[in-house]
Structure formats: C-alpha cells, structure tokens
Amino acid sequence: MAVIFLVAGCNKSDDPINDNNVVLKSAQSHLVTLPFKADFVNTFLAETGPNPICGDWDPENGQFWMMIYGEGGGTATHLGKFTHHFEFCCDVGSGIYPGPSGYYEAYFVAANGDSLFLLGQGQVKDGRLDHHPEDVTSYFTDPWEILGGTGRFEGASGHGMTDDYNRSSYPDNSFHHWTGEITLIKGKR
C-alpha cells in the first residue's frame, strides 16, 4: 500500500519541473506604491538664447524663452546613486517652465543602467523659503511626475513635489530635494 501512495504521489502534474526541466513559477505581477525621495545637484551645462523649440524671444513683450541643459548626480530611494540629465524650456523673465511647447526631457539613471523618465513644470521664484540656506537667491516648489522607465522601472509611475533652489555661492548649480511616491510593477513580467 505504501508503494502505491509513493508512486501516485510522484505524479507528473504535481512536479514543479516541466518537460523541458524548467522550474515553473506561479508569481503574478502586481503594483506596489512606495515612498520616493531624491536628493541631487544639477550642474548647468548651457543656456541657449532664442530657441524656436521653446517659444518666442520677444523682449518688448516680456518673452525670453530659452533651452536649459543640466546634468549631475545624487541619491534616491529605489535607485541608489544615480546620474541625471535635464533639458527643458524656461522663460528666464518669468521663471515659468517648460513653456508653451511643453518641451521637457529628463531622466535619472541608476548605476546598473535602469532609467526613470520624468516631467516637471512650474515656476522659479525670486527669494528663499525659511528652511533654505541663507545664500539662496531663487527657489521652485513644483510638482514632478514619473512617466515610466527601463529595466526594473519599466511601467513605473509616480508623483510628488520639489523643494529646489539656486544659491549665489554656487552659481553653476541647482540643488534638488524631491519627495513623493513611486508605483512599480513587481513579480512576473
């Protein structure tokens, strides 16, 4: 009787290995929403004058649309150390970005090459907030959004707010502190 139960217990349908000797997994994908925080320093690479992608350059009517480029690095939850690239339109008179064309290209790249694609919009304002360093000359507290990514960030989404500023003692840099949430696809793809 014991032999019959052992033979019946080794039935092929209960075996976790299929005919090709591949272990089968039953994990289903699901969404996970987690807190997100990023701290990074942007180095301005260039600011271009009139740029047709951005909008009109019309000083008489108060329009000064230009392209701004920046790169740098920092740390973030779920990325660890990362590098970044920003390229967007900004009206240097009003501080509004990305402007009428909506042109904004930005991404974070983790050490393993996985990327997060981002969107930001708002306005750079003169002055500083009470919690900023004394030499802050302008700041921006604006919404940001995750538009997807590559690798483990494929299909990612998320959003939050910036707490960013420019400092007179570091004129070639801007300082960024982003908080919010990220939603990732976990499990079998």
Write out the residue range of the structural domain in which residue 65 sits: 29-186
Rounded Cα distance between 15 and 46, Å, is 61
Q: How many domains does the chain have?
A: 1
- The candidate with the shortest Cα–Cα distance to 66, out of 35, 34, 37, 89, is 89
Instruction: Give the DSSP letter of residue 47.
Output: E
Residue 184 confidence (pLDDT): 96
Please identify which residue in the block is written with the tokens 């990362």. Answer: 82
pLDDT band for position 99 (50/70/90)?
confident
The answer to whether position 86 is within a domain reads yes
pLDDT tens digits for 102-117?
A: 999 999 999 999 999 9
Residue 108 belongs to domain with CATH number: 2.40.160
Beta strands in 77-151 (DSSP E): 80-91, 96-97, 104-110, 115-120, 122-123, 125-126, 136-140, 143-149
Rounded Cα distance between 21 and 28, Å, is 21
pLDDT tens digits for 30-88?
A: 999 999 999 999 999 976 777 788 988 888 888 888 899 999 999 999 999 999 999 99
CA 100 to chain centre: 22
The answer to whether position 107 is within a domain reads yes
Cis peptide before 50 (omega within 30 of 0): no
Rounded Cα distance between 52 and 165, Å, is 27
The answer to whether position 12 is within a domain reads no
For the question of whether the overall pTM of this predicted structure is more than 0.75, the answer is yes
The answer to whether position 23 is within a domain reads no
